[in-house]
């Protein structure tokens, strides 16, 4: 049986605020519940879902699930992200990310702009009307140069 060790590291600013944590080589927003990071349903989350890899990230760290994945959790893990830093609005769901683990979180202070500056990306999209700028290319360079290429070896 293959043994996979689960490792978690925490990254802080000099002032002591947590910027993100690294669980199994995926970077998460500081307040993203670690119990969830340890328990993604199959095909959901930052490692397995293409949409999560794009819109679920902010400043290079995983902020929350995409809309499709959020539905698989029946909204218990938020409404799902439809754009960088933008969660789908669902008034009937009190478990929206910005009502729970992202409440009062200043997105400007989390993650690492050296990995990806999401606010700048949004500016660029708005300025040049780029349609598919994908921040994840930065993230994948950071973690792995392969895009799901492990199987071919």
Residue with Cβ nearer Zn ion (120 or 147): 147
Residue with Cβ nearer Zn ion (17 or 33): 33
Residues 6+ apart with CB under 8 A from 86: 55
∠ Cα 34 77 33 (to 5°): 15
- Find the shortest distance in angstroms from Cβ 85 to Zn ion: 15
Residues 6+ apart with CB under 8 A from 112: 11, 19, 20, 27, 59, 60, 61
Cα-Cα end-to-end distance for the chain: 20
- Find the shortest distance in angstroms from Cβ 52 to Zn ion: 3
- Find the shortest distance in angstroms from Cβ 16 to Zn ion: 32
* Binding residues vs Zn ion (CB under 5 A): 49, 51-52, 66, 69
What b-and-e string marks burial along 68-84, b requiring 16 or more CB atoms within 10 Å of the CB? ebbebbebebbbbbeeb
- Find the shortest distance in angstroms from Cβ 51 to Zn ion: 4
Residue with Cβ nearer Zn ion (21 or 65): 65
Residue with Cβ nearer Zn ion (21 or 62): 62
Residue with Cβ nearer Zn ion (38 or 114): 38
Query: How many Å apart are CA 15 and CA 74, to the nearest integer?
Result: 37
- Find the shortest distance in angstroms from Cβ 53 to Zn ion: 8
């Amino acid at each position: 049986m293959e043994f996979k060790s689960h490792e978690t590291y925490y990254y802080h600013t000099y002032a002591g605020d947590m910027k993100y944590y690294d669980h199994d080589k995926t970077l998460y927003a500081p307040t993203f519940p670690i119990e969830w990071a340890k328990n993604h349903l199959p095909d959901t989350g930052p490692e397995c879902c293409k949409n999560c890899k794009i819109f679920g990230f902010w400043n290079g760290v995983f902020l929350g699930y995409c809309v499709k994945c959020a539905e698989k959790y029946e909204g218990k893990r938020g409404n799902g992200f439809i754009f960088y830093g933008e969660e789908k609005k669902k008034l009937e769901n009190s478990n929206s990310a910005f009502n729970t683990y992202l409440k009062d979180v200043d997105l400007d202070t989390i993650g690492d702009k050296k990995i990806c500056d999401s606010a700048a990306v949004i500016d660029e999209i708005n300025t040049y009307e780029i349609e598919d700028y994908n921040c994840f290319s930065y993230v994948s360079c950071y973690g792995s140069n392969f895009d799901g290429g492990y199987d071919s070896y």
